[in-house]
Amino acid sequence: MSHYVTLPDSETAHMYAALMAEPSITLVPVSREGEAIPVAAGLFVAGQNPVISIQNAGLYEAGDALRGLALGIGLPLVMFIGYRGHNRKGDTPDSAAAFLEPFLHMWRVENFVVESDDDLDRVPLAFELAAKTNQPVAVAIGTEYAKESGAGE
Amino acid sequence: MISYADACRVLNDSRDEAVCVTTMTQTKYWYQVSQEPDLDIGISNAMSKASSVALGVALGDPDRSVLCLDSDGSLLMNFGSLATIAGMAPKNLSHVVFNNGIYSVTGGQPLPTAGVEYAKAAEACGYAATYRFDDVKSLDSALPDILSSPGPVLIEIIVKPEPQAEGVDQTWESNAKMPLQLRAMRKRLTGLDDWGPGGPYL
């Protein structure tokens, strides 16, 4: 990974902090989530290996960019998505969570959910799948994982 | 006011081997003058995102100049990109905004307000320098110095409106052009021919 293109959210704040401690990774903070995929596309064209990290609510705002500049161009991009409102009981009152997996399914975006450290082996799978298919792949970071890591408090 | 054709002509005269990320009406005129098609991307299938793609290329290849030929209506849809670009401060990015006050490709409807001064907005966000031109002679004489100065710079060009009565057809072929251009550019910039087919068009 060369660049971390992000608009921070509570669910992935622990990743933000950890990645900022890694000097080889360049942070690219964007003003709105819809900018993240186009910036990543430009970076990839220039030979870099970006990832993006945005919240599920922001992914919905980024829909046209996802359509045109990720799915439409065949961009191998791993998208970390803060899974706001998700819980392991599955009875979320938050529509941002309720719509995420149906949204990704409807847009034909393969996705993995990370709810605990036991799920971390899904992250390299996401990178492999993105590279193999030339398509964006989502890794949804669960709210409870953020809280357990201490970042969501 | 400056015509699209004149603006693109003088920009191309000062382009050298800059990447050019373009969108909307100016794309047609740019393709008529550009002699570096492998360095051109027309953002035809991702509304308003030319400035963000240009930022990505500029950050990814800091030794190469990058020109973004943006539109006023497009920039209004992606206005936050001014702050994002200012924050990253790429020295190699020149952001040109064609200001005609209308949505040309949908028939010429007015923007929500015609009075936005994009150069002032970029200055307020923190661009290194901003300019505004409404005659082609001044633009032509100033461009070489502007494009060789450290960015990010914003060049607002007041252009003669050219509303399109027929609108724009999105076809399979037109939508396939952008992914092909992006692959050609990656090959040109990196020497790598490693981006295989993917997505609905390739």
For the stretch B104-155, pLDDT in tens is 989 999 999 988 999 999 999 999 999 999 999 999 999 999 999 999 999 9
For the stretch A105-127, pLDDT in tens is 999 999 999 999 999 999 999 99
Work out the minimum CA distance from B176 to partner chain A, whole angstroms: 8
State yes or no: pLDDT of A152 exceeds 60: no
Q: Which amino acid is at A127?
A: F
For range B2-28, the mean pLDDT: 97
State yes or no: pLDDT of B19 exceeds 80: yes
User: Domain ranges in chain A?
Assistant: 3-148
Mutate to test the interface with A, among B17, B23, B40, B49 (most CBs of A within 10 A): B49
Instruction: Please report the domains of chain B, with CATH numbers, ordered by start residue.
Output: 4-190 (3.40.50.970)
Name which of B35, B27, B1, B8 is nearest B140 in CA terms: B8
State yes or no: pLDDT of B160 exceeds 50: yes
Please name the CATH architecture into which domain A3-148 falls.
3-Layer(aba) Sandwich (3.40)
Please give the Cα distance from B94 to B65 (Å, whole number): 8
Name which of A14, A39, A7, A6 is nearest A120 in CA terms: A14
Q: Would an 8 Å CB–CB cutoff place B17 in contact with chain A?
A: no
Per-chain mean pLDDT for chain A: 93
Please give the Cα distance from A71 to B198 (Å, whole number): 8
**Sign of CA pseudo-dihedral B71, B74, B80, B81:** negative
ipTM over 0.90: yes
E strand or H helix that includes residue B32: helix B25-33
* Beta strand extents in A3-119 (DSSP E only): 3-6, 26-29, 50-55, 78-83, 110-114
Cβ-count burial A54-91 (b if 16+ within 10 Å, e if not): bbbbbbbebebbbbbbbbbbbbbbbbbbbbbbbeeeee
Give the other-Cβ count within 10 Å of B121's Cβ.
19
Q: Would an 8 Å CB–CB cutoff place B112 in contact with chain A?
A: no
Please give the Cα distance from B109 to B130 (Å, whole number): 27
Please give the Cα distance from A27 to B89 (Å, whole number): 13
Which residue does chain A place closest to B187, by CA atoms? A45
For range B21-35, the mean pLDDT: 96
Which residues in chain B have Cβ-Cβ distances shorter than 8 Å to A45?
Answer: 41, 53, 56-57, 60, 182, 185-186, 189
Bridge-based pairing state of the strands A78-83 and A137-142? parallel
Which residues in chain A have Cβ-Cβ distances shorter than 8 Å to B22?
Answer: none
**Confidence band of A150 (pLDDT split at 50, 70, 90):** low
Tokens of B15: 């382009």
Please give the Cα distance from B91 to B102 (Å, whole number): 30
pTM comes to 0.96
Contact A92, A85 (CB under 8 A): yes
Chain A and chain B share a number of CB contacts under 8 A equal to 134
